[in-house]
Each structure stands twice: as structure tokens, then as C-alpha cells.
């Protein structure tokens, strides 16, 4: 299914290579070495947060009403000014040539075919310009605010010149403690070095500072100054509290990205889904919120939207598709997620994405009074 209008044929007879996300998962696991699989699937420390992210979705149940009188459901929506075939973005994850040599170039082409937008990380395996040239949907460039402010601004200017529409701001105080990768002594096959830094590209000082930590990390005052000078509007990723949500908006962010980075930064932080409702209540309905961490199904997308997100960002699932079958694997992953989401939408009595609210979530105490 693409972004074009059309009915979904959901009969089980099909010539498609992959009929479910399970099949994509199996092929990805078969194609990757143990070390590469650990790179994709690991969290930090004991991986408590990694597990909690998924378990948080499993705690929710839906209310599936009878005779809801819905129209034929549409998954179309608009987020951050982008028309999306369903409420999803590609999350900004790096080191993607570990899964397929075409990396984010293939991911962008698949996203374009399905009708969603791509967030591109500063740690991508190809320069930001190459990825932007591969498709029309490389629209958000992620950059870590660290090191010299001038170097950060120069990198944002590169993104604007390449056609990106937003900057996704992230913060990295300390390097992550990923024990599976440490035990594997992991390095990414096929990468020749940081693609966005070096001669003819951007000053590698920010990358060096990220690793060496010779200066104090940025505070909100520095972030606010850089956002004010940024050539593109900024959204802030890693928001996990009401306090940081307000701080990000006060610093000039035009949107929030609720995420604990899939449990890959520091262990024993809350599941991202558990903090989402309080952040939505605190900032109101008008602020766009992107969500990631723990999304595995189209029904998970519906849950996240019911709890306050405008769209989700997809990381590990996209890497699975890339490892399974390159561009086609990513495209099929997105198509299956859209179909799962469409199916969930209809069963919940929703004709359109905007109909999703916490009313579709089962509340045991309320059901007893009916």
C-alpha cells in the first residue's frame, strides 16, 4: 500500500515474499552475525529499560466497539507540515551499513515509496547530502549539541543547503554502556569512518569532543542560543519529563520527540510510553509530539497516538527490514505496519487518525459501572 488512495486487499493469498513482520524478523536474524544482531537488539546495562519499553505497550488493552458506524478508515495524516500515508517517520539511527551496504539511501527510497518522511542521523554511514539525493523524503537531520557552537551551526547550514526542513536536536552527556557490544568488541563492517566529518565536510571537533569529553556539556542556555541561530526549525529528542518538555519549548523547539533512545543510553529510566501521557497533558494539544522506544506493531502505533503522540519514529523495525532484504525489506516492513495500523484503526471504531484518543483504551474500573 502506498500513500495513494486505494483499498487494502487483505486476503491471505499473496505472492509477496513477506506476509508478516515475523518473516522479516526471521530473515534478518538469519542474515546477521551474532555481533551484528547484538548491535541491533541490545540496550544498556541489564537492559531493563529495553524490556520495559516493549512491556509498557503490552499493559494496554483496547475497547473494540460494536456498530460504530465508521467510514472506510484512512491512515493519512499530517505532522510537522508533512503529509504522511500513516503516522510514522524513519528514526535517526546510525551505523546502518552493518545491516545493508546501501544504508539510509535504501531506507529513504523505501520511505518515499510508502509515503512517509525520513530522519537522518549525524552518525549515518553516508554524508547527509548523499542521503538527501537518494530520495525526496530526507527531511529531518539529527545532530547532537556538543562541542563548539559554531561547528554545530555550520553542520545545520549544510543540512539546510541539502534540502532538509527540520533539525532534530539530541544531547549525549556520557558514552553508553552497552555490554553486549563491549563483549563482542563490535565494529561496523563496511564503514570507513565518520561520513559527515573530515576534509571537505564538517569539522570533526564536535565528534572528537563527544568521545573525549574535554569540556562541560551544553546546558539549556547554550541550546537555546543555538536553536535561536539555527537556519531550520528544531525539534528536541530525548524528552522524558514534563520539566524537559517545558525547557525544550522555552528554548525555542517547535516540536518534542519523546524517547529514551530505545533503552540504548542509560538503563533503568522509565519506559517512554509511561511518560508520554503526562507530557501531552502538560504541553497541550497543539505541540507536535513524535514518539519512539518499544514500537513493534501497528497496534503499538495506535496505542502511542491514543496516549498523545502525533506520530511514531521507527528504528529497530527498519533495521530489521534492511537486514532482511535491503530496500525491499524496509518497504515491506512499512507496508505491513501500515496495514496493521489500518486494521487496528477500523476495529477501534476510528475512521481517521484524529479519532484516536484514550477512549479506545480499556479502563477496567470504568467498565464495571456500565
The predicted structure's pLDDT at residue 369: 47
Burial class (CB in 10 A: 0-12, 13-18, 19+), 142: buried
Q: What is the rounded CA–CA span in Å between residue 292 and residue 294?
A: 7
Give Cα separations from 105 to 126, 129, 137, 164, 349 (angstroms): 8, 10, 11, 15, 37
Q: What is the rounded CA–CA span in Å between residue 312 and residue 259?
A: 10
Q: With beta carbons less than 8 A apart as the criterion, state whether 106 and 100 touch.
A: yes
The predicted structure's pLDDT at residue 312: 98
Q: What is the rounded CA–CA span in Å between residue 134 and residue 129?
A: 9
Q: 98-102, long-range: CB within 8 Å, 24+ apart, which pairs?
A: 98/36, 98/39, 98/40, 98/188, 98/189, 98/190, 98/191, 99/28, 99/32, 99/36, 99/40, 99/319, 99/322, 99/323, 100/322, 100/323, 100/326, 101/190, 102/326, 102/327
User: All 3 cell numbers of residue 108?
Assistant: 529513504
Q: With beta carbons less than 8 A apart as the criterion, state whether 360 and 52 touch.
A: no
Q: What is the chain's pLDDT, residue by residue, as a tens digit (370 residues)?
A: 444 445 555 556 678 899 999 999 999 999 999 999 999 998 999 999 999 999 999 999 999 999 999 999 999 999 999 999 999 999 999 999 999 999 999 999 999 999 999 999 999 999 999 999 999 999 999 999 998 899 999 999 999 999 999 999 999 877 888 888 888 788 877 666 678 887 777 877 777 787 788 888 999 999 999 999 999 999 999 999 999 999 999 999 999 999 999 989 999 999 999 999 999 999 999 999 999 999 999 999 999 999 999 999 999 999 999 999 999 999 999 999 999 999 999 999 999 999 999 999 998 865 444 4
The predicted structure's pLDDT at residue 139: 98
The predicted structure's pLDDT at residue 214: 81
Amino acid at each position: 500500500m502506498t500513500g495513494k488512495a486505494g483499498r487494502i486487499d487483505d486476503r491471505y493469498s499473496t505472492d509477496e515474499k513477506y506476509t508478516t513482520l515475523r518473516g522479516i524478523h526471521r530473515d534478518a536474524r538469519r542474515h546477521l552475525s551474532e555481533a551484528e544482531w547484538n548491535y541491533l537488539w541490545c540496550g544498556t546495562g541489564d537492559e531493563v529499560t529495553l524490556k520495559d519499553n516493549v512491556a509498557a505497550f503490552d499493559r494496554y488493552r483496547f475497547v473494540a466497539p460494536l456498530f460504530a458506524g465508521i467510514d472506510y478508515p484512512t491512515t493519512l495524516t499530517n505532522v510537522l507540515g508533512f503529509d504522511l500515508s500513516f503516522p510514522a517517520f524513519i528514526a535517526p539511527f546510525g551505523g546502518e551499513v552493518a545491516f545493508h551496504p546501501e544504508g539510509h539511501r535504501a531506507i529513504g527510497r523505501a520511505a518515499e515509496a510508502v509515503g512517509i518522511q525520513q530522519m537522518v542521523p549525524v552518525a549515518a554511514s553516508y554524508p547527509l547530502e548523499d542521503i538527501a539525493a537518494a530520495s525526496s523524503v530526507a527531511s529531518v537531520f539529527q545532530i547532537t549539541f556538543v562541542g563548539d557552537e559554531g561547528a554545530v551551526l555550520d553542520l545545520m547550514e549544510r543540512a539546510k543547503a541539502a534540502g532538509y526542513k527540520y533539525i532534530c536536536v539530541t544531547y549525549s552527556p556520557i558514552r553508553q554502556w552497552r555490554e553486549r557490544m563491549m563483549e563482542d568488541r563490535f565494529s561496523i563492517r563496511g564503514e570507513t569512518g565518520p561520513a559527515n566529518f573530515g576534509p571537505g565536510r564538517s569539522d570533526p571537533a564536535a565528534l572528537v569532543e563527544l568521545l573525549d569529553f574535554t569540556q562541560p556539556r551544553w546546558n539549556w542556555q547554550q541550546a537555546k542560543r543555538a536553536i535561536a541561530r539555527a537556519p531550520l526549525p528544531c525539534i528536541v529528542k530525548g524528552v522524558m519529563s514534563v520539566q524537559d518538555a517545558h525547557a525544550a519549548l522555552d528554548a525555542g523547539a517547535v516540536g518534542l520527540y519523546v524517547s529514551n533512545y530505545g533503552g540504548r543510553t542509560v538503563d533503568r529510566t522509565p519506559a517512554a510510553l509511561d511518560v508520554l501521557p503526562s507530557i501531552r497533558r502538560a504541553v497541550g494539544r497543539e505541540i507536535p509530539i513524535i514518539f519512539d522506544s518499544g514500537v513493534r506493531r501497528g497496534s503499538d502505533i495506535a496505542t502511542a497516538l491514543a496516549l498523545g503522540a502525533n506520530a511514531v519514529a521507527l528504528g529497530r523495525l527498519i533495521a530489521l527490514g534492511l537486514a532482511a532484504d535491503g530496500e525491499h525489506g524496509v518497504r515491506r516492513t512499512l507496508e505491513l505496519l501500515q496495514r496493521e495500523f489500518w486494521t487496528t484503526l477500523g476495529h477501534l471504531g476510528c475512521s481517521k487518525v484524529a479519532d484516536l484518543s484514550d477512549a479506545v483504551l480499556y479502563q477496567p474500573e470504568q467498565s464495571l459501572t456500565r
